[in-house]
Amino acid sequence: MTREQSKYTKSADAFAQARKYLPGGVDSPVRAFGRVDMGPVFVAAAKGSKIYDIDGNQYIDYVCSWGPMILGHAHPAVLEAILAAAQKGSSFGAPTLAETELAEKVIAAYDSIEKVRFLSSGTEAVMTAIRLARAYTRKDLIVKMVGCYHGHSDSLLVAAGSGLAETAIASSAGVPDSIAKLTVVLPYNDIEAVKAAFEKHKGNIAAVLIEPVAANMGVIGPADGYLQMLRELCNGRDTLLIFDEVITGFRLAAGGAQELFAINGDLTCLGKIIGGGLPAAAVAGRADIMDMLAPLGPVYQAGTLSGNPIATAAANATLDILTKGDCYEKLESSAATLEAGLADAAKNAGIDVTINRLGSIMSCFFTDKPVRNFTDVQSTDIECFKKFFAAMLNQGIYLAPSAYEAMFVSLAHTPEDIEKTIEAAKNSFARIIG
């Protein structure tokens, strides 16, 4: 056992025990650290910008629970709201005033949203949005983009077919081909491919589903005019534009990517930050579409824990903080400093790194090429990333254990955290070339 391995002995033992009872030892695949050829660290606690594992190691956290912890871990105001709500009961299965309060905050933040339905996960939000789109348009096909992840519902666990504007093939066992064929998979940032799909499947496309800023294949922003052209194409063809802002909602701005790029979706899917760190999500949009949901309309959706009072309390507390003061200016400053420091460290080490950043999310791709779509993402040097990840972890910097994931900066990250991270990167890049 090396000195570095000895830092994680309790985590290694815990992982071996977990594999006896949990498939792969985890409850979500990326947590297994399989993409970085090592075992996961088991987290014991978190506070502010730091997480602590069961071996007693401390890390500056840039996973932030995959995005929700924009205020940092265990924020006092959020904890106070959670505790106050929990003392009144953990679940009622009945309406509460806090749900309406939260809906009002969401509607105030997004110009495109008139009504909201709260749910328990981003997967559920997107699944419901697709059902609404099909019911509203009376069409069956959905367009999605290669590399954009929208949850694990059957119609979205698909891969591109062999040709332009081809319907998809299943990318997971258990997904029937008959369901996969209802999805058309296209390259991100390729408007000509979208035009071709509309021409090939004329009159049959219910919705274009997209992350306005792709953040599940690393961070990739939309090309100039791309979102606006999608909007125009959908407007002219009785097709809904669904923005999956599970990651970008309330992170890039109070009104998410739609505020940042001055564009409105017909339906918006929210998650992560909308739960304040607890399981919660929402599908939201125009009233005429949303009113198709039961009990008003014919589209059925229900959930025992939808609008859960504890999650709703955490969400209200989180949004109260984010929508006041200069939170987004602070996030931008911290993230810009980190981006510049990482870029300089890579350049000085002679290592090719392309950094994509929008607001407080960013990705480091080990390539000398611009990264604008999933094909570009695949040019990243995975072996370099694995070395970088391990070196950073050993210096107390916790990054996502996959080359295709984002880094998240929170309001809890201090200038000292950023400086320490940049110094760790310098050492890590030196180790790669060494």
For 205-219, the three-class secondary structure string (H helix, E strand, C coil) is EEEEEECCCECCCCC
Query: How far is CA 237 from each of CA 25, 231, 234, rounded to the nearest angstrom?
Result: 47, 10, 5
Q: Indicate the pairing of strand 50-53 with strand 58-61.
A: antiparallel
Q: How many Å apart are CA 406 and CA 66, to the nearest integer?
A: 8
Q: Taking the CA atoms of the chain, what radius of gyration do you get in angstroms?
A: 22
Eight-state DSSP code of residue 306:
T
Q: Beta-carbon neighbour count of residue 54 at 10 Å?
A: 16
225 token code pair = 């005019």
Whether 308 and 279 have beta carbons less than 8 Å apart is answered as yes
Cα 244 to chain center, whole Å? Answer: 9
Whether 86 and 294 have beta carbons less than 8 Å apart is answered as no
End-to-end CA distance of the chain: 22
Query: How far is CA 363 from each of CA 215, 347, 371, 405, 415, rounded to the nearest angstrom?
Result: 9, 16, 10, 7, 20
Q: Residue 141 pairs with which residues in a beta bridge? A: 205
Q: Scan for tokens 């348009």, then name that residue.
A: 137
Q: Residue 375 pairs with which residues in a beta bridge? A: none
Q: List helix spans (H) across 294-381.
A: 309-322, 327-349, 374-377
SS3 269: strand
**Phi and psi, residue 98, nearest 5°:** -65, -30
Residues designated catalytic: 149, 244, 272
Cα 337 to chain center, whole Å? Answer: 22
